[in-house]
Amino acid sequence: MTDESLILALRAELHRHNYNYYVLNAPTISDQEFDAKMRQLQDLEAQHPELFDANSPTQRVGSDLNNEFPTVVHKRPMLSLANTYNRQEVSEFFQRVQDGLHGAPFQICCELKFDGLSISLHYEYGRLVRAVTRGDGVQGDDVTANVRTIRSIPLQLPDGDWPEEFEIRGEVLLPWSSFDRLNRQREADGEPLFANPRNAASGTLKSKNSSTVAKRGLDAYLYYLLGDGIPGDGHYENLQAARRWGFQISEHMRLVDDLQGVFDYIDYWDTARRSLPVATDGIVLKVNSLAQQRSLGMTAKSPRWAIAYKFQAEQAETVLRQIVYQVGRTGAVTPVANMDPVLLAGTTVRRATLHNADVIQSLGLRIGDRVLVEKGGEIIPKIVGKAETQSVADGAENAGTAVAGTFISRCPVCGTPLVRYEGEAAHYCPNDTGCPPLILGRIEHFISRKAMNITSLGPETVDEYFRQGLIRDAADLYELTEEQLLRPAAGDQKGVRKILQSIEDSKAVPFERVLYAIGIRFVGEIAAKTLARNFGSMDAVAAASLDELMQINGIGLVIAQSVMQYFAEPKNRDFVGRLRQHGVQMQLSEERLSAQSDRLQGQAIVISGVFHHHSRDEYKALIEQHGGRNVGSISQKTSFVLAGENMGPAKLEKAEKLGVRIVGEDEFLKLIGE
């Protein structure tokens, strides 16, 4: 056998063993035999780089290189499901389906609702070619490199009757065992714990380092098959075909013919779900016939042929032992209850959030109280009240001591006196230039896509640089050198150069995004654009009086005061000055100034659909550049709708009903002079 033939045979064999192990849970060889074959394949591929295949089993270990996530428009929109929490609404859904199908018989496919991150997988000629997150339903992030590391997702399908091209959707999730192992490791490393498997799965799949993804043990269940050549009209039957092709399909799907069958399924899994190896938060009900699905159609946000029934949160009783305080990266201080361990929704929990001072006071808790803890999708649950029967717990420290009204007055991390802003429930640490959680939060905001767009850096890398003492604020990023970042455990040369280039490129980011990036409290993306358009430079914004700021449409007292307080602080002025020295944009460019107009002055514009000439974000910027205002929903005050392809049917119907003008992409560009 030639090396090429042996490589192809080993790949096919290892794909089959991966399927047996991760999907069927029925391995046919030992781990040692599997590892030996994997090493043999790795050695052969190293000898023959010309035979590289991104779908080879050897590629599942991931790469140490950082990945960026290009945005991909979905071929078919990924709509979210309407949710319900009670049986009456399930009955109403069933009745709506009956009415919509004019009494024709139909079946409902009952499925578990897995609690993870929605994913769309595209296959061509049996090979995985692209994996895209749900995103906003219209477009998502291409995470193919990371998805290739998930061993229950086939990279190459065995011979079968699969179509030449198809899409299969599902949920990427982290099993309880992987989640517990990950949080134990993070706790040992002094890192913040993930709140639940869903957050952990989402954060993992968006990691810039695919080797990190490979280590964390993500899994995937697939639940919807789409394409022109799929086997038949039955959703359930199509998924059974997908199972034969090698996909992990839940074995707990059931077809039912009536409403009682739906309720029987709900009743069973309301209890049985607690023994599952993965997190579930409800049931999904789908009309089984694809033809009937098309007949029922969609609303603007969700299909009429499906609904999600959410389980009621589970409660347990335990003893409150202590209250500690955590500081988030926005500066919000959250009280957390330490309790006696209690089994809740399949996991042992010891902590529960108390949210804020008002919640503590309303509950009237004392150390040693018996409390009711509820888990509504979070692994750090919440205390919802006292248990009906109370007795001072044995050994409780400070038993009987009142907790209500004793919220801490200083930051538990840096000692700064806390503040509580008018209209907000949370207490905040205001020391955003000296408190580590806040410093990290400001840097992460600074590098984010809508701010400075330093895409090669992620939160984990920022944390590492901060721990090493390489950065203390975002301005320090511009002083990083290749020599510093190539120190042990810092990064590889190619990755480091990519990071430094991304930092250098951010110097060209326009001024309005710089103004947003520096992190003035209450100055969001829209307010920053408004300030930039009206003042033109950082110096002018910093020198503006309260009256000058409040004269601007969209800038109220809270924002105006926050802007003045920001620039009154010497540390902030120094920070902005350092950014200026490094070449960051501090005023609108001549091109931007000359491009501004009042052609859309005073007009409220809604954007809907998919566009060809510019992205939705670019059109929003053009609207603001020409004096218009972006609004999210259609009303009688809407001036017109900028409509691309696949405009939402509900928005179209409402615009026609209210007589709101529909403006196409080309007409809009002529309107603003492009």
CATH architecture classification, 597-671:
3-Layer(aba) Sandwich (3.40)
Computed over every residue of the chain, the mean pLDDT equals: 86
Domain 511-594 has CATH 3.40.50.620: no
Confidence at residue 487, expressed as pLDDT on a 0 to 100 scale: 67
Look at residue 234 and tell me whether its pLDDT is greater than 90.
Answer: yes
Chain centroid offset of residue 104 CA:
40
Q: 368: which DSSP letter?
A: T
Strands (DSSP E) contained in 415-561 are 427-428
pLDDT tens-digit map of 522-536: 898 888 988 998 899
Distances (CA, A) of 347 to 197, 335, 474, 543: 12, 22, 39, 55
Confidence at residue 65, expressed as pLDDT on a 0 to 100 scale: 41
Helical packing angle, 176-188 and 197-205, nearest 10°: 80
Q: Please say whether the beta carbons of 229 and 164 come within 8 A.
A: yes
**Conformation bin of residue 102: beta by default, left when phi > 0, alpha when psi is -120 to 50:** left
Q: Please say whether the beta carbons of 645 and 607 come within 8 A.
A: no
Confidence at residue 380, expressed as pLDDT on a 0 to 100 scale: 63
Confidence at residue 366, expressed as pLDDT on a 0 to 100 scale: 86
Q: Please say whether the beta carbons of 530 and 620 come within 8 A.
A: no
Domain covering 436-508 in this structure, CATH number: 1.10.150.20
Confidence at residue 206, expressed as pLDDT on a 0 to 100 scale: 82
Confidence at residue 35, expressed as pLDDT on a 0 to 100 scale: 66
Name the residue with higher pLDDT: 589 or 438: 438
Give the total residue count for the chain. 674
Q: Name the pTM for this structure.
A: 0.55
For the segment 105-116, the average pLDDT, to the nearest whole number, is 94
Give whichever of 382-391, 506-515, 596-605 has the largest mean pLDDT.
506-515
For the segment 89-118, the average pLDDT, to the nearest whole number, is 94
Look at residue 645 and tell me whether its pLDDT is greater than 90.
Answer: no
Confidence at residue 612, expressed as pLDDT on a 0 to 100 scale: 82
Name the residue with higher pLDDT: 432 or 157: 157
pLDDT tens-digit map of 299-317: 767 899 999 998 877 788 9
Look at residue 456 and tell me whether its pLDDT is greater than 90.
Answer: no
Same fold flag, 314-422 and 511-594 = no
Confidence at residue 22, expressed as pLDDT on a 0 to 100 scale: 56
* 349 vs 317: CA distance, rounded Å: 11
pLDDT tens-digit map of 137-163: 888 889 999 999 999 999 999 988 999
Of 264-278, 471-485, 568-582, 593-607, the range with the lowest mean pLDDT is 593-607
For the segment 644-656, the average pLDDT, to the nearest whole number, is 81
The token duo for 413 is 């991390």
The CATH label, of 2.60.40.10, 1.10.10.10, 1.10.287.610, 3.90.470.10, for the domain at 3-61 is 1.10.287.610
**Closest by alpha carbon to 67, among 151, 136, 143?**
143
Which amino acids are annotated catalytic?
A: 113
The token duo for 603 is 């007009």
Percent of the chain with pLDDT over 70: 91
Confidence at residue 410, expressed as pLDDT on a 0 to 100 scale: 95
* 568 vs 566: CA distance, rounded Å: 5
Question: Which residue ranges make up each domain of the chain?
Answer: 3-61, 83-310, 314-422, 436-508, 511-594, 597-671
* 142 vs 348: CA distance, rounded Å: 36
Q: Please say whether the beta carbons of 168 and 225 come within 8 A.
A: yes
* 78 vs 663: CA distance, rounded Å: 25
Look at residue 367 and tell me whether its pLDDT is greater than 80.
Answer: yes
Residue-wise burial string across 486-504, b where 16 or more C-beta atoms lie within 10 A, e elsewhere: eeeebbeeebbebbbebbe
Confidence at residue 21, expressed as pLDDT on a 0 to 100 scale: 58
Look at residue 504 and tell me whether its pLDDT is greater than 90.
Answer: yes
Pairing mode of beta strands 71-73, 139-141: antiparallel
Pairing mode of beta strands 108-114, 254-256: antiparallel
Angle at 253 between CA 252 and CA 258, to 5 degrees: 125
**Closest by alpha carbon to 588, among 525, 524, 509?**
509
Name the residue with higher pLDDT: 633 or 223: 223
C-alpha distance across the termini of the chain, in Å: 63
* 472 vs 474: CA distance, rounded Å: 7
3-state secondary structure 422-440: CCCCCEECCCCCCCHHHHH
Confidence at residue 523, expressed as pLDDT on a 0 to 100 scale: 92
Confidence at residue 648, expressed as pLDDT on a 0 to 100 scale: 73
Phi, psi of 518 (to 5 degrees): -70, -10
Confidence at residue 64, expressed as pLDDT on a 0 to 100 scale: 38
Confidence at residue 398, expressed as pLDDT on a 0 to 100 scale: 45
167 residue type, one letter:
E
Phi, psi of 350 (to 5 degrees): -125, -10
pLDDT tens-digit map of 350-362: 888 888 888 888 8
The token duo for 613 is 């000439």
Look at residue 53 and tell me whether its pLDDT is greater than 90.
Answer: no
Q: Please say whether the beta carbons of 458 and 207 come within 8 A.
A: yes
For the segment 647-661, the average pLDDT, to the nearest whole number, is 84
Confidence at residue 232, expressed as pLDDT on a 0 to 100 scale: 92
Confidence at residue 63, expressed as pLDDT on a 0 to 100 scale: 47
Q: Please say whether the beta carbons of 110 and 179 come within 8 A.
A: no
**Residue 345 — pLDDT band, cuts 50, 70, 90?**
low
Confidence at residue 199, expressed as pLDDT on a 0 to 100 scale: 80
Q: 564: which DSSP letter?
A: H
* 495 vs 34: CA distance, rounded Å: 31
Look at residue 490 and tell me whether its pLDDT is greater than 60.
Answer: no
Which residue in this structure is represented by tokens 């511009």?
478
The token duo for 404 is 């209500």
- Which is the CATH superfamily of the domain at 83-310? DNA ligase/mRNA capping enzyme (3.30.470.30)
Domain covering 314-422 in this structure, CATH number: 2.40.50.140
**Residue 632 — pLDDT band, cuts 50, 70, 90?**
confident
Instruction: Please give the helix or strand (H or E) that residue 270 lies within, else none.
Output: helix 259-272
Percent of the chain with pLDDT over 90: 44
pLDDT tens-digit map of 537-560: 999 999 999 999 998 877 889 899
